[in-house]
Amino acid sequence: MNLPTAVVSLLMPTRGRPKLAERFIKSAIEMAECPEMVQFVIRVDDDDHESQALDGAKLNMITIVGRRSSMGTYNSACLERATGDIIVLGNDDIVVRTRGWDRRLRDVHTSHPDGVYLAYPNDLFKGRRLCAFPILSRRTCNLLIEPFPRAYQGAFIDYHLLDIFKRLERYGYPRLIYLPDVVFEHMHYRTGKSTFDETYRSRARFRDDDTFLALRNDRSDGALRLLAAIDPGTVHERAHRNHTSLVGQGWAKRVFDAAKVILGDEELPAGWRLRLFSWFFARFSVASLLARQ
């Protein structure tokens, strides 16, 4: 059999869940059409000795050990070591359910000769609404420079990437690709498929909200670089740049600034602006209530 040319790199930060990590790796290999063309890049903390012992002897696997850090730092470290043409952000709480999932990803990759796309599987949780496990080409990662910003402590990388590609849609280039029949089942505790363990418990629920808003201009710049790669002959002007800091402000001021950053962002489709602002309004409200308890 002739092997495909595109290697798929699955990035997986993990902590304290060696059995779950092994389950994910096993499911990805068993369901792959060409497992020899799948690479795993694992990031574990230096005090997590069980996860360091994950056996990759018979796999194309790289294990990175380092100090405990942010999720953005973990994923960026994995990306630096990955050699694949197709980059997938994975979690240790995934089970791959679709046979030939790697072929489907390569089909998406080859159908976009300029290499600019954001694909995502069906996680049986968020579904079409969110690219929970983003799939990007190596070229897209390079164009974005820092596709997984280190400032994100534990969340929002998926929203960050989705927001960039919503900007492309606004400019007339729909490059978001949802793969409903490629199932990467998210065994999240909120679906009742796992327990609320220490790894979940240690994540601050609202820590990255302000970071997402503060990185608005980075997403704008990233979208413009992708546009230049898609259509080098067209010059796109940057919308008004917003500068705001939300750290330490009260509920009303945070909501006002979020409205200014999101609702006033003409680079985004109107529907996405409304959805984002409504979501942040709800999150700020819950965070404010919890802070008073």
Assign residue 176 the CATH number of its domain. Answer: 3.90.550.10
For residue 265, the model assigns a pLDDT of 93
170 and 29 housed in the same domain: yes
pTM, two decimals, is 0.93
69 and 179 housed in the same domain: yes
Q: What is the pLDDT of residues 24-35, one digit of tens each?
A: 999 999 999 999
For residue 106, the model assigns a pLDDT of 98
20 and 148 housed in the same domain: yes
* Residue 169 within a domain: yes
For residue 112, the model assigns a pLDDT of 97
220 and 110 housed in the same domain: no
262 and 145 housed in the same domain: no
Mean pLDDT, residues 145-168 taken together = 97
For residue 142, list its beta bridge partners: none
Contact of 242 with 215, CB cutoff 8 Å: no
For residue 240, the model assigns a pLDDT of 53
Q: What is the pLDDT of residues 69-103, one digit of tens each?
A: 999 999 999 999 999 999 999 999 999 999 999 99
Contact of 64 with 73, CB cutoff 8 Å: no
226 and 163 housed in the same domain: no
For residue 178, list its beta bridge partners: 120
Average pLDDT of every residue of the chain: 91
Give the angle 21-22-27 at the CA atoms, nearest 5°: 100
What is the three-class DSSP state of 153?
Answer: coil
> Does position 244 have pLDDT exceeding 60, yes or no?
no
Domain boundary among 149, 170, 194: 194
Q: What is the share, in percent, of the chain residues with pLDDT greater than 70?
A: 94
Structural domain of 259: 209-292
